[in-house]
Amino acid sequence: MAAITLDNVGKTYAGGTRALSGMSIDIAPGEFVVLVGPSGCGKSTLLRMIAGLETVTEGTIRIGERVVNTVEPADRNIAMVFQNYALYPHMTVRQNLAYGLKNRGTPRDEIDRRVAEAAQILEIGPYLDRKPRQLSGGQRQRVAMGRAIVREPAAFLFDEPLSNLDAKLRVTMRSEIRQLQRRLGTTSVYVTHDQVEAMTLADRLVVLNAGRIEQIGTPLQVYRHPATTFVAGFIGAPAMNLLPAQIADGQLHLAGAAVAPMTRAGGPVTLGIRPEDLRRDPAGPIRMRLRHVEELGHARLLHGQIGDSAAVCTVTDTAPPDPEIRLSIDPGQCHLFDAQTGARLTGA
């Protein structure tokens, strides 16, 4: 278990692609940090730089006390779980697990002991003598985990390890990974583009966008106080509504109607409001023209338009919706962002 410290890390690929800049993250020993962001934002690049599979073009990466910028992957004492598992297809499960230990000259009986232990933890004992192609996706996933834990490394690195599994298995494996990490206490960096996975797994989230850090914080901090409109729209499902609004005369104006008292300097702002915080209220000041309804069973999503902007509202009542719905909001649930920069306005 070791701390991982990124200090102003950047990456420019040989072809000139600027993948990352100004990454500074302090990961405490034993912490589970999730890197989350849309496709192409540089999550894998950052993880691979920590693993030593990509060169670091700027800044420093430390694992424990040691700067590892030029250290070979083998000598960083990390284990990585790949998206496609990267199991060695010509070796049995047992040989897959033992490979890394054997390369490091671990004594035979120690290898056997650790493989048996990992097999027991992950319940892959019955498959030890099978080849990877004779396993199901979920079993392969466990073997990939097993290969990481037998090494007893200083840190686990995961690159979208669950994205090849079906939705149900993904939920099970997610909680298993979390429990396993708690039990072993190994520092973990986990990459995903799935915000639900990120919220449920992380001690701390790092939200990335276009090669930059948008926000670092616990899942609740990020959910409750998104630092930018990007984070606000990315974390939470269905996504937060982001609507152009005005502050004037101590009121927040949305689509021409005063919707909530607001004591701050006037001017244009972006109002962020979660779909569940848009309340149906016959006397409410907000009018939403209904476009279509999505039935979720426990709730419904009403898709419509407020002024010129698309908006979504979650309701739990089953009353048939009118073509125009009246809504109201609670000032405490409004997130205000700078209309130009998208940065969160403090005190909101």
Ligand X SMILES: Nc1ncnc2c1ncn2[C@@H]1O[C@H](COP(=O)(O)OP(=O)(O)OP(=O)(O)O)[C@@H](O)[C@H]1O
Residues that bind Mg ion (CB under 5 A): 44
Q: Residue 254 to residues 52, 127, 274: CA-CA distances in angstroms?
A: 50, 60, 15
Q: Pick from ligand X, Mg ion, another protein, none: which does 89 bind, CB < 5 to 8 A by kind? A: another protein
Provide the 8-state DSSP code for 341.
T
Residue 217 structure tokens: 């914080």
Question: Rounded distance, CA 80 to CA 149, Å?
Answer: 10
Q: Which is nearer to Mg ion, 44 or 209 (CB)?
A: 44
User: Which of 76, 140, 174, 193: binder of ligand X (CB under 6 A)?
Assistant: 193
Give least dist CB 148 to another protein, A.
9
Tell me if 99 contacts another protein by CB under 8 A: yes
Dihedral sign, CA of 177, 43, 36, 295? negative
Q: Residue 225 to residues 198, 219, 229: CA-CA distances in angstroms?
A: 16, 10, 11
Q: Pick from Mg ion, ligand X, another protein, none: which does 17 bind, CB < 5 to 8 A by kind? A: ligand X
Question: Rounded distance, CA 142 to CA 137, Å?
Answer: 9
Tell me if 108 contacts another protein by CB under 8 A: no
Tell me if 41 contacts ligand X by CB under 6 A: yes
Tell me how crowded residue 77 is: count the other CB atoms within 10 A of its CB. 17
Which residues are CB-neighbours of 34 under 8 A, at least 6 positions away? 189, 190, 191, 192, 197, 198, 201, 202, 204, 205, 206
User: Which of 8, 22, 24, 40: binder of ligand X (CB under 6 A)?
Assistant: 40
User: Which of 11, 147, 170, 344: binder of another protein (CB under 8 A)?
Assistant: 147
Binding mask 176-195 for another protein (x = CB under 8 A): --------------------
Question: Rounded distance, CA 255 to CA 288, Å?
Answer: 10
Q: Pick from ligand X, another protein, Mg ion, none: which does 45 bind, CB < 5 to 8 A by kind? A: ligand X
User: Which of 38, 64, 100, 138: binder of another protein (CB under 8 A)?
Assistant: 100
Q: Is 234 helix (H, G, I), strand (E, B) or coil?
A: helix
Tell me if 71 contacts another protein by CB under 8 A: no
Question: Rounded distance, CA 211 to CA 327, Å?
Answer: 38
Q: Which amino acid is at 181?
A: Q
The residue among 197, 273, 188 whose CA lies nearest residue 229 is: 273
Report, in angstroms and rounded to the nearest whole number, the Rg of the chain calculated over CA atoms. Answer: 24
User: How many residues sit in the footprint of ligand X (CB under 6 A)?
Assistant: 13
Q: Pick from another protein, ligand X, Mg ion, none: which does 19 bind, CB < 5 to 8 A by kind? A: ligand X
Give least dist CB 11 to ligand X, A.
8
Tell me if 19 contacts ligand X by CB under 6 A: yes
Give least dist CB 37 to Mg ion, A.
10
Q: Which is nearer to ligand X, 85 or 127 (CB)?
A: 85
Place of tokens 């993250």: 25
Residues of the shown chain interacting with another protein in the complex, contacts defined by CB under 8 A = 51-53, 72-74, 78-80, 82-84, 86, 88-90, 99-100, 103-104, 147, 151
Residues of the shown chain interacting with ligand X in the complex, contacts defined by CB under 6 A = 13, 15, 17, 19, 37, 39-45, 193
